[in-house]
Structure 1
Amino acid sequence: MVAFAVTDWDDAYENGRNIPGGSDYPAAWVEPAVSFRAAARAHLELPYGEGARHRYDLFLPEDAPKGLFVFVHGGYWMALDKSYWSHLAAGPLAQGWAVAMPSYDLCPEVSIADITAQVGAAITHAADEIDGPIVLSGHSAGGHLVTAMMCEDSPLSDETRSRLAHVLSISGVHDLRPMLRTERNAALQLNMVSAEANSPVLKRPLKHVPLTTWVGGGERQEFLRQSVLLSNIWHGLGCITQDVVAPDRHHFNVIDDLADPNSAMLQTVLGSAGEGGQ
């Protein structure tokens, strides 16, 4: 094994210009998301707080939901909103799950700790609407946010925590300390204290909740490292974990399998939730 030092931390976490066709995103998600919302059984723009972005969309299956599936979007805590991802609800819906997709405030207007609390409020609100087990998923920064929900200092209520059946972090960033070395930190406004305080990898997990970290084989090395890092450390703390590297997937198309009800990704998280959820 050849050891190397990261010399350009911005490049290490830069996806768009390091992926062929990366500049096509996020625009490529807009049309399928709009078309899906137009045809779906949905309650849109449900408020979970007082802010303009404190809203979530709730998509409903044809029959009574088996449980609640949540998808939390990425964008480095500083970009995008729930509207780009609606089509990803197709997979869980076809499996009989209700799907909630929240927006949240963005850095630098708020801190990552504030965003974590907002996502917790959104999940709690959706959980009050839908009975059964809860599966959380999130992409990139969203992967960070959903793993924060299964830490011992989770903002979720005890009742909502007890319903967590699986957490899926897709290309998540679980250790925020490298962000201090990036230009993005001008917006994130992290220091070492806040980076450590908001890093799931430095916290204790809720041991009853299985964790799956999922990452594309064509991703930047840092995303591959961040993925296995959390699974490895939390396994040593008694959590049931697995780390999956999906071949021929990159940071932007690794989420596509959420829309496929028969994908290995959904079978992994919904299968276990159906077996263990109450």
Structure 2
Amino acid sequence: MVIDTLLHLPQAVRDAAYDNTRAVASSAQQLAAFEARSLAVVQQHAADLDVAYGPGARQRLDYFHGPAGASTLLFMHGGYWQMRHKNSFRFVVQGALQQGVHAALIGYTLAPQASLTQIVQEVRQGIAAVRRQALAAGGSGRILLCGWSAGGHLTALGLDGDGVVGGLGISGIYALEPVRHTYLNQALQLTPAEVDQLSPLQLPVVDKPLVLAYGTAELAQLQAQTQAFAHYRQAAPGACLAVPGADHFSILNALADPQGVALKALLALDRA
């Protein structure tokens, strides 16, 4: 597997292979734009914000209301399980709301305050809480799960959740062993057991449709992670979607845009 070759390279090379912020010169500007766009979405749409689904300070969900009987797009943010905040990514639901579905985001405790095992447990609680919120809001309770970067990993692990009908992993991490050998593990402190138990590339395939997207301008390791997981799931429903010219941050526009290729692919799963 291509991603395994990284383990034999010098530490600096291993670190650079997963350093998206350094690889994308405009990352700071894009993140600042995400913040502004997210504020605009909150001002334009009715929503229940920062609803607690657990005792942790970050165990909060946002719920944006859609038409009665519609499904709910649920987004999980990235940041290598140790950075970012759901509030910065509220903009990604703009397209879904315009397409007539409900939308939600969940936060979770970050490493090192929580282990990856704990984060996954929190996310499962969050998915269940969003479904309850959807039903209370007049939605169908059908969940279209999606996430970016670390959120793509969490999407793969949450695909078997009650009410989840399909998913979209955007630029996700599906094999954890390479990450364990980079600077990212200082906060994560991944154990060999967690690598085995929480790497989607080592787990039984969930037989629900999953679209796996990546940008053609992303780091080679990120592209390889998605391609490897798509191959691993080749007998299961879903697709591998290459977004031309997209980097690790700009690829989110393919979800936020009402005509975005990633959003269209996810919404198509609701009609399958």
Normalising by structure 1, what TM-score?
0.89
Worse-matched range after superposition: 13-22 or 216-225:
13-22
Partner of 1:171: 171
- 8 A contact 2:63–2:104 mirrored in 1: yes
Deviation at 1:25, TM superposition (A): 4.2
| In the alignment, structure 1 residue 29 sits paired with structure 2 residue 38 | no
1:120 aligns with 2:124: yes
Question: Secondary structure of 1:26's match?
Answer: helix
Partner in structure 2 of residue 243 of structure 1 = 240
1:145 is the counterpart of 2:154: yes
SS where residue 13 of structure 1 aligns?
Answer: coil
| Distance in 1, Cα, partners of 2:144 & 2:188 | 27
1:213 is aligned to 212
Alignment of 1:1-278 (within 5 A): 5-6=5-6, 7=9, 8-61=13-66, 63-130=67-134, 131-150=140-159, 154=160, 156=161, 160=162, 163-207=163-207, 209-235=208-234, 238-273=235-270, 275-276=271-272
Q: How far off is 1:27 after superposition? A: 2.4
Q: Residue deviations 1:163-209, cap 9 Å, x none?
A: 322210000001111011111101000122221211011111221x1
Q: State the aligned residue count.
A: 261
Q: What secondary structure, in the 3-state scheme, does the structure 1 residue paired with 2:36 have? A: helix
Query: Does the CA contact (< 8 Å) of 2:254 and 2:262 recur in 1?
Result: yes
Shift of the 254–40 alpha-carbon distance from structure 1 to 2, 3 Å rule, reads: same
CA deviation after TM superposition for structure 1 residue 233, in Å = 0.7
Structure 1, residues 32-83: CA drift from partner, whole Å, max 9, x if none?
111211221100011111111110100112x315111100000010011110
Amino acid at match of 2:190: L
Asked if the contact 2:78–2:149 (Cα under 8 Å) also holds between the matched residues in 1, the reply is yes
> Do the aligned partners of 2:3 and 2:221 also contact (CA within 8 Å) in 1?
no
Q: Give aligned-pair identity as a percent.
A: 29
How far does the alpha carbon of each residue in 1:97-141 deviate from its partner, in whole angstroms, 9 at most, with x for none?
A: 111101100001111111111111111011012224211110000
Distance in 2, Cα, partners of 1:232 & 1:4: 15
Which secondary structure state, in structure 1, belongs to the residue aligned with residue 193 of structure 2? helix
> Residue 4 of structure 1: CA displacement?
11
Inter-partner Cα distance in structure 2 for 1:3 and 1:95: 37
Please give the secondary structure, in 2, of the residue aligned with 1:85. helix
Residue pair 2:64, 2:104 contacting (<8 A) in 1 also: yes
In 1: Cα distance, 2:126 partner to 2:195 partner:
23
AA partner of residue 229 (structure 1): A
Runs ≥4 in structure 1, deviation > 2 angstroms? 2-7, 22-28
**Structure 2 residue runs without a partner (length 5+):** 135-139
Contact between 1:65 and 1:98, CA under 8 Å: does it hold in 2? no
Check the 8 A contact 2:64/2:103 in 1, yes or no.
Answer: yes
- Distance in structure 2 (CA, Å) of the matches to 1:25 and 1:166: 28
CA contact (8 A) 1:65 1:96 kept: no
Cα distance in 2 for residues equivalent to 1:69 and 1:23: 27
TM-score by length of 2: 0.91
CA distance in 2, matches of 1:164, 1:126: 11
